[in-house]
Chain A
Amino acid sequence: MLHRKIGYISLSSGQVKKASIPESVRRLYLGGRGLNMYLLFNHLEQGADPLGPGNVLLVGAGLLTAGPVPGGSRTDVAAKSPLTGLVGDTNMGGFFSPELRFAGFDHLVIKGVSEKPVYLWVRDGEIEMRDATHLWGKDTLETPEAIRAELGDEDIKVLCIGAAGENLVKFANVRTGAKNAGGRTGMGCVMGSKKLKAVAVRGTLDIGVKYPREALEYYWQMQRKILDSKTASLFSVEGSLMQYNPTNTTGILRVKNLGLNRMDDLSLTPDTFLEKYSLGSTACFGCGMHCRHKWQIKDGKYGGLRGEGPEYYTLMALGNVVYNTSWETVLAAQYLVDKIGLDLAEAGNIIGWAMDLYNRGIIDKSDTDDLDLDWENSSEVLLVLLEKIANREGFGAVLADGIRMAAERIGRGSDYYALHVKGLGMVGTDDRAVPSLALGVATSTRGADHLRSRPATDLFGLPEEFTEKLYGFPVSSDYNAYQTKAKLIHYMELLYELVDSLGVCKYQTIFISPTFPQFEEYSKLIYYLTGLGLSVDELKTIAERCYTLERLFNYREKGITRNDDYLPDRYYTEPTPSGVSKTRGKFLDRAKFDEMLDEYYALHGWDSNGVPKPETLVELRLDKEPSHMI
């Protein structure tokens, strides 16, 4: 598991170098996201243009990916984001990085720009650059098929971009498999700018396990702990859609941009999906939860369409945020964004904003290529808009550069309704009533993003004696509270940094159930699989190091400080219109939010402006960065 290689590829010169990853580096950054962040900080020159040859694209497998570990399928792709100018980082499941590991590589560092479209062919210790002129223009479902036929192996896994990436849409995603997507921060745009159409991988090498018997035994215990639980019995059937109904009922769903916090129309429930469209479950590599759906639309406008998915976020971005109430449109839209390689989170957010502007009379048909963006018309225009964005056509071209630039272009006070943090589009939930979620989203190093820290269990109302055992400190059982939440967010940030560096899926962690694995379990798994003995505290330090490095990157590139760690103004001024008693009439209290920020910075060892303190850098061995170890 430890002895895998890193490949350095220069698309400008065609040169390929291979090197081993020293154990000393593993002990500091592990792999996956953590090591990608180190590589990003070290290989990117400060101020590099995200669309130029100076940007560095990183593809990384986690330290434990492919192992006998719950949910060990994740791939991490990173670069400087063309959308935000900050840490660009995205994580996805499927089968890609296990294959990369079997090919002998854990990380690829891709620099420069190719003159003509190319793709990388990685197999069993070798990396080759191949012409992709004939692949340019193909969508993300055609491209892998074409590559497999060309190279004569049906087991090749492909990471690729679609039309959105080729057209340098700032929120183009990277795609693998039927529907796995590395959505956020526009990594597909970076690939497009490098004329890198795809990375194809096939591996037949061994991955060694340090203590196979113990690893299998402990893995068995972990599987039972997770998969025999009540949460798993629901999750393995409903998938991430499981979260939709509770979120809606509670009233923390973002609807009509930020118009409502609850969907009155109940067409979009998981039950409808399971009854009418689901074909059963499928899984990512090595996962016994198999939470992914397969679906089919039998008849009607989209009759005959088949695909995989959807996720809870799909439903939010292409459903409630844009007030689309048709399941079939959601599925067809998901299928479309998968094909064209467009981030549905960003797309849903920006379309929801455009529709909000239209319904408020700030823009009209002359802006929207004559499309009627009335909320009631959502299912008619959604797919049209998505295509326009991917192809930079007309109104799509205005939206294709992201919400911040679009707001500048449109003007007319449209930026008041533009929901983003640091340039990344807002998440699908309405966090006005939940300070912990709000803090996480506001401070995430990617921008508005829940995956850096989402403390889903905060909504369960767990008693303080329980959370004390769970986290090592008590957390208020009241999700309206501001007290103790900074500690919670800090803890979750460290945990998810670890999980993303190990290449493991968050759905097999305390993300969805307090009894699921966290630090202690991963410490054991790391030991049995790799032989590295890392205590819980040591793992937390590694996570702290990686997270602070991300913060440092953002500071270095764009001077990100406290000023940028807030949600849009509306979150502190406009009360939620509906919901249960705990979520109705709520908005964030700025003073209390500031207190949370103070506590949060202190926990990270950053100053009151949110800048990492020099002594923290020394403590975390970040003071000499960039250190160019690998």
Chain B
Amino acid sequence: MEKVILIDPEKCTGCRICEIVCSLTKEGVINPTRSRIQVVKVDPVSLSIPVVCQQCYDAPCIAVCPVGALSRHGTTGMVNHDRDLCIGCKSCAAVCPFGAIGIDTSAEKVFKCDLCGGEPTCVKFCETKALEFVEASTLSLRQKRKGISKYTELLQRDTGQSAA
């Protein structure tokens, strides 16, 4: 059954606990730059937006990978990154519309969220439920799209200017 991480940016307080526990779980150290989920802070009113792989259906990263290291797994709903095939060209990191793919300069590969094998740690530790792990039914996909479009709304509200 497909499950995805649903983001509600209005609930995010910018505490970065998700970055702490993700990097600790996936890399064994605390290092926000090695976390699969990153919180982008938009000043001046400290608007915080969590950014993590949205496991896109029509993923630009899959399209652009020259060696097929990224692929979609039908059953888990996840975009899978095969570390062994990866040549570290970083094209995926560039085209991701969310900037959700990280670059590991020492391993010379990229990294991205793998949903922690079905129990995402970030979701567990998020106190405000800005992150939720929900079934990718049509309803929650609609919510997901709403959450992502909130980026635009909130940024607009901040400047009082309209976007095209």
Q: Is B17 in contact with A282, judged by CB distance below 8 angstroms?
A: no
Q: How far is the CA of A580 from the CA of B34 in the complex (A)?
A: 55
11 new A-B contacts, CB < 8 A, other than A209-B30, A283-B13, A306-B44, are: A178-B43, A206-B30, A206-B31, A220-B124, A223-B125, A279-B45, A288-B17, A288-B127, A290-B15, A290-B127, A308-B45
Q: Is A285 in contact with B16, judged by CB distance below 8 angstroms?
A: yes
Tell me if A187 is interfacial: C-beta within 8 Å of chain B.
no
Tell me if B29 is interfacial: C-beta within 8 Å of chain A.
yes
Q: How would residues 269 to 312 of chain A score, 1 for a CB under 8 Å from any chain B CB and 0 otherwise?
A: 00000000001111111111010001010000000001010000
Q: Is B15 in contact with A285, judged by CB distance below 8 angstroms?
A: yes
Q: How would residues 597 to 609 of chain A score, 1 for a CB under 8 Å from any chain B CB and 0 otherwise?
A: 0000000000000
Q: Is B29 in contact with A207, judged by CB distance below 8 angstroms?
A: yes
Q: Is B15 in contact with A288, judged by CB distance below 8 angstroms?
A: yes
Contacts of A68 in B (CB 8 A): 17, 20-21, 24, 30
Give the residue of A287, A294, A296 whose beta carbon is less than 8 angstroms from that of B15. A287
Q: List 14 A-B contacts (CB under 8 A).
A: A178-B44, A206-B29, A207-B31, A209-B24, A212-B25, A280-B13, A281-B13, A283-B14, A285-B15, A286-B17, A288-B127, A290-B15, A290-B128, A294-B45
Give the residue of A212, A287, A296 whose beta carbon is less than 8 angstroms from that of B28. A212
Q: How far is the CA of A148 from the CA of B42 in the complex (A)?
A: 14
Chain A residue at smallest Cβ distance from B124: A220
* Interface of chain B residues 89 through 133 with chain A (CB within 8 A): 121, 124-125, 127-128
Tell me if A227 is interfacial: C-beta within 8 Å of chain B.
yes
Tell me if A511 is interfacial: C-beta within 8 Å of chain B.
no
Q: Is B32 in contact with A102, judged by CB distance below 8 angstroms?
A: yes
Q: Is A205 in contact with B31, judged by CB distance below 8 angstroms?
A: yes
Q: How many B residues touch the partner, as a band?
A: 20 to 34
Q: Assess A286 versus B15: contact at CB under 8 Å? Given A102-B32, A205-B31, A212-B24.
A: yes
Q: How far is the CA of A207 from the CA of B46 in the complex (A)?
A: 26
Q: Assess A204 versus B14: contact at CB under 8 Å? Given A209-B24, A216-B21, A216-B25.
A: no
Q: How far is the CA of A287 from the CA of B16 in the complex (A)?
A: 8
Q: How would residues 197 to 212 of chain A score, 1 for a CB under 8 Å from any chain B CB and 0 otherwise?
A: 0000000111111001
Q: How far is the CA of A282 from the CA of B15 in the complex (A)?
A: 7
* Interface of chain B residues 4 through 34 with chain A (CB within 8 A): 10, 13-17, 20-21, 24-25, 27-34
**What residues make up the interface of B, taking CB atoms closer than 8 Å to A?**
10, 13-17, 20-21, 24-25, 27-34, 43-46, 48, 121, 124-125, 127-128
Contacts of B14 in A (CB 8 A): 282-283
Q: How would residues 376 to 396 of chain A score, 1 for a CB under 8 Å from any chain B CB and 0 otherwise?
A: 000000000000000000000
Q: How many A residues touch the partner, as a band?
A: 20 to 34
Q: How far is the CA of A306 from the CA of B30 in the complex (A)?
A: 33
Q: How would residues 139 to 151 of chain A score, 1 for a CB under 8 Å from any chain B CB and 0 otherwise?
A: 0010001000000
Q: Is B45 in contact with A296, judged by CB distance below 8 angstroms?
A: yes
Q: Assess A294 versus B29: contact at CB under 8 Å? Given A220-B125, A223-B127.
A: no
Ranked nearest first, the 7 interchain pairs of A and B with the lowest CB-CB distance are A283-B15, A206-B29, A288-B127, A290-B13, A283-B13, A207-B30, A204-B33
Give the residue of A66, A208, A282 whose beta carbon is less than 8 angstroms from that of B20. A66
Contacts of B15 in A (CB 8 A): 283-288, 290
Contacts of B43 in A (CB 8 A): 145, 178
Tell me if A182 is interfacial: C-beta within 8 Å of chain B.
no
* Interface of chain A residues 561 through 611 with chain B (CB within 8 A): none
Q: How far is the CB of B129 from chain A (nearest CB, A)?
A: 12
Q: How far is the CA of A139 from the CA of B54 in the complex (A)?
A: 39
Contacts of A215 in B (CB 8 A): 24
Chain B residue at smallest Cβ distance from A291: B13
Q: How far is the CB of A318 from chain B (nearest CB, A)?
A: 21
Q: How would residues 497 to 515 of chain A score, 1 for a CB under 8 Å from any chain B CB and 0 otherwise?
A: 0000000000000000000
Tell me if A67 is interfacial: C-beta within 8 Å of chain B.
yes
Q: How far is the CB of B38 from chain A (nearest CB, A)?
A: 10
Q: How far is the CA of A202 from the CA of B31 in the complex (A)?
A: 12
Chain A residue at smallest Cβ distance from B10: A280
Chain A residue at smallest Cβ distance from B16: A285
- Residue of B34, B43, B45 with most chain A CB atoms under a 10 A cut-off: B45
Q: How far is the CB of B25 from chain A (nearest CB, A)?
A: 7
Q: How would residues 164 to 207 of chain A score, 1 for a CB under 8 Å from any chain B CB and 0 otherwise?
A: 00000000000000100000000000000000000000001111
Contacts of A287 in B (CB 8 A): 15, 17
- Residue of B13, B25, B121 with most chain A CB atoms under a 10 A cut-off: B13
Contacts of B13 in A (CB 8 A): 280-283, 290
Q: How far is the CA of A287 from the CA of B14 in the complex (A)?
A: 9
Contacts of B21 in A (CB 8 A): 68, 216
Chain A residue at smallest Cβ distance from B27: A206
Q: How far is the CB of B12 from chain A (nearest CB, A)?
A: 9
Q: Is B44 in contact with A282, judged by CB distance below 8 angstroms?
A: no
